[in-house]
Amino acid sequence: MTDPVLYEERDDIAIITLNRPHKKNALNNAVIQGVADSIDAATKSSDVAAVVLRGAEGTLTAGYDLTASFGDSDSEAGDDPAGWPTPYGAKGPERRDGAWDPVRDYQFMNNNVRRFMKIWECPKPVLGEITGWAVGGATDLVLCCDLLFMASDAHIGYAPSRIFGTPTTMMWVYRLGLEHAKQFLLTGRAIDAETAHRIGLVSQVFEPGEIAAAIEAEAQRFKHIPANQLALNKMLINQAFENMGLRTTQMMGTFFDGVTRHTEEAYQWTEAFGDKGFRQVIAERDEPWGDYGQRQ
């Protein structure tokens, strides 16, 4: 077994790598905790000026790992997708054990939000490297970064808004504004790199073979600015969004996420996994839009 998250310090930066490439670096509890622990390590290290967050082998992350929850044959034994309090282990319906407990669901999901927000709260700049796919829960994670770099062939989007989820860290509206947030959250459309750059979602776009070196070079430049200066400026920028109700929006997003997973439509959708298979159901969800499950 390899570590689900790799942490490395070199050349004045910390590099955090999601390391489940055989599962497209899908998020489970070990990955989420590994990222949180790595951010803590980078925060404490006097040798680190900035942090790079990336995924192994060409994909940032495909989002939350739901396959183990619904009997996918490629699942790892004992895999815990993220600690959701349901008998399926993840975001599935709780019909076997009685009524859904919204408070318990919120507490578990909010634990993930708190760990994602360590990126937001880190006093050092955190640069996110979007390669391959950043889908669903991946956006809850990566949109907490300070600066986003994207490979020219990558896509990002919140597909669960079509069924079975709402963004929990809900950075979309704060990073995009009203029109674009509605455009991409109401539809769940995948956003290509060119569009992401045009609407201001990412800072720069690079060819896939160039992005790793480019983001590391940018991160290394922060060593020329005093750490306290960086921390104070980041705090000042962040508090403006905190004052616009970011934490309240996250509380509602996290609670609503649980609600969307326990509607009658959600129950029917997840029950279809047993009949059609996980990948077929996802493909059918995305067929009208021609993205995600249709492309992978």
Residues 122, 51 contacting (CB under 8 angstroms): yes
Phi-psi region of 194 (alpha: psi -120 to 50; beta: other; left: phi over 0): alpha
Residues 65, 29 contacting (CB under 8 angstroms): no
- Distance separating alpha carbons of residues 152 and 210, to the nearest angstrom: 10
Per-residue pLDDT of the chain (296 residues; tens, 9 = 90+): 699 999 999 999 999 999 999 999 999 999 999 999 999 999 999 999 999 999 999 999 999 998 766 655 444 434 454 444 443 334 444 444 568 899 999 999 999 999 999 999 999 999 999 999 999 999 999 999 999 999 999 999 999 999 999 999 999 999 999 999 999 999 999 999 999 999 999 999 999 999 999 999 999 999 999 999 999 999 999 999 999 999 999 999 999 999 999 999 999 999 999 999 988 999 999 999 999 977 65
Looking up tokens 């004992």 gives 78
| CB neighbour list of residue 151: distance below 8 Å, 6 or more residues apart | 129, 130, 131, 132, 193, 205, 206, 207, 208, 211
Looking up tokens 């249709």 gives 294
Q: What is the DSSP letter of 290?
A: T
Residues 162, 188 contacting (CB under 8 angstroms): yes
Residues 115, 35 contacting (CB under 8 angstroms): yes
Give the chain's domains with CATH numbers: 5-294 (3.90.226.10)
Q: What is the DSSP letter of 63?
A: S
Looking up tokens 């669903």 gives 136
- Distance separating alpha carbons of residues 112 and 144, to the nearest angstrom: 12
User: Does residue 182 sit in helix, strand or coil?
Assistant: helix
CA distances from 147 to 52, 62, 143, 201 (A): 10, 20, 9, 9
